[in-house]
Amino acid sequence: MPQLSQDSQECLQKPFSRPSTWTQFLPLFRAQRYNADIHQTTENEGDPRAVTDIKPMGSERMEMRKRQVPAAPDAPGAAPGQPGVGSRGSNACCFCWCCCCSCSCLTVRNQEDQRPTIASHELRADLPTWEESPAPTLEEVNAWAQSFDKLMVTPAGRNAFREFLRTEFSEENMLFWMACEELKKEANKNIIEEKARIIYEDYISILSPKEVSLDSRVREVINRNMVEPSQHIFDDAQLQIYTLMHRDSYPRFMNSTVYKDLLQSLSEKPIEA
């Protein structure tokens, strides 16, 4: 391999041994650029557009962004104590679905949901469960043995018969018949609908423990009429229960100790007097 001469080697080493030309003039270039920036900034102190020529970097840019974001203004015409549009107060109607929300709108909704329940309890209390009546006389008790109609026409007879039905675990038949009689006295449409619903839930529904015995035809008619119930919606069911009590329970009542003890106690009163 041929070797370079000494003169050639010196020529190759000269560019690397001394500083390059651009390295010598680099400090001078930086100084001139710095002076030019200062001069331009001094001239544009009164011009707001000059600020856009300066490009902040890092934390300075983030700080400027924070300053440029305006605060959310309050709603026009809002009272000092009321929250603005961008904020939610404790009394504002929010779209929060959590169970811990204490908004006034949810309080109103809860009160509205409780109103039908309170009305139902009040109407349910209006349905008769026991009738106040004077003590029956001996003539009235003897008349009960003549026909079932004479027994059911007097409050004292219905109370005595209901006491007997309780011993046979069929008291719901008398309660249902009495509730139907109470429904026929109503004229207010809203009260009729509510009482009809209560009677249906208590005595017609298959889920009720006090369900009365009705055939499928009568149940279908009631289910269709429950869309717009009237005070006579349970007439067929009431007649069926009346017939059931007449044929099934009434004969046993006449032979029960309830009736015999009552008849005996009334028969012995004139002798004691």
User: Does pTM surpass 0.85?
Assistant: no
Write out the residue range of the structural domain in which residue 166 sits: 137-268
Q: Does residue 152 belong to any structural domain of this protein?
A: yes
High-pLDDT (> 70) share of the chain, %? 51
The pLDDT tens digits for 230-244 are: 999 999 999 999 999
Q: Does residue 190 belong to any structural domain of this protein?
A: yes
Q: Does residue 87 belong to any structural domain of this protein?
A: no
Q: Does residue 154 belong to any structural domain of this protein?
A: yes
Q: Does residue 235 belong to any structural domain of this protein?
A: yes
CB atoms < 10 A from the CB of 203, how many? 22
Q: How many CA atoms lie within 13 A of 245 on its CB side?
A: 29
Q: Does residue 222 belong to any structural domain of this protein?
A: yes
Instruction: Give the distance, in angstroms, between the CA of residue 7 and the centroid of all CA atoms in the same chain.
Output: 102
The b-or-e profile of 161-191 (16+ CB within 10 A means b, else e) is: bbbbbeeeebbbbbbbbbbbebbeebeeeee
In the structure, what pLDDT confidence band is assigned to residue 44 with cuts at 50, 70 and 90?
Answer: low
Residue 273 has pLDDT above 60, yes or no: no
Alpha carbons 189 and 228: distance in angstroms, whole number: 10
Q: Does residue 163 belong to any structural domain of this protein?
A: yes
Specify the CATH number for the domain of residue 218: 1.10.167.10
Q: Does residue 62 belong to any structural domain of this protein?
A: no
Domain tally, the chain: 1
The pLDDT tens digits for 66-116 are: 555 554 444 444 444 444 444 444 444 444 444 444 443 344 344 444 444
